[in-house]
Amino acid sequence: MDIAGSVALVTGSNRGIGRRFVVQLLERGASKVYATARRPDLVDIPGVEVLQLDITDQASVAAAAEIATDVTLLVNNAGIATQGSMLTDDLANARREMDTHYWGNLAMVRAFAPVIEANGGGTIVNVLSALSWFAHPGSGGYAAAKAAEWNMTNAVRLELAPKGVTVQGLHLGAADTDIMAGYEGPMVDPADVARASLDGVAAGASEVVVDEWSAMVKASLAHGPDAFYAQFA
């Protein structure tokens, strides 16, 4: 897909990885970028069309699709991280994770896939995670929701291929964003995440694995879980 001249919509674009997507899309010559957020007043990037969007609200998703009828590239980036225990934390937090990462992003795909098809085809990017493939104490709800989103990404890719819509799954470890505040391990630059993804869009890649950590986690799936999870014991 040629990003120059494309019309893109990015969710969660007021900060972090989403903001870097918007900036790089403009730099690469996208003809229009819809920068969306639950609080559009927080979007401060010149040259974009700002839209209010809550991906967990079906009416909000439908309203965005009625406005952004020229989209050819959708970046599903919006996300949350509630943290906490899968066994003792408020169950509402696990539901919020699934409502956002799985149901919310599926709603976006369902709303915008026909738009992209009607505009001659294009690409959907689902921002996933290395946590699509493993869990870590305190990240169970997020990991479960990302695992669901990962296989949803695989499923819609198969259904949309005949319609001229490609679907990219984007996997990364920790990124230097607000959502990872307090994390002390190595983190990838959010700009590098957006760059790798958009390079993949241009190349037609169905999956982009950004960093070595994510590649290692993916490779570990070929083996039993005991050795991998021993590092957390």
Positions marked active-site: 142, 146
Report the alpha-carbon distance of residue 124 to residue 8 in Å, rounded: 10
- Sheet with 122-127: list strands edge to edge: 49-52, 32-37, 7-10, 73-76, 122-127, 165-171, 207-209
How big is the CA angle at 133 (ends 141 and 13), to the nearest 5 degrees?
Answer: 65
Q: Could you tell me the two tokens for 42?
A: 């927080």
Among the residues of 119-224, which ranges form H helices? 140-160, 190-203, 212-220
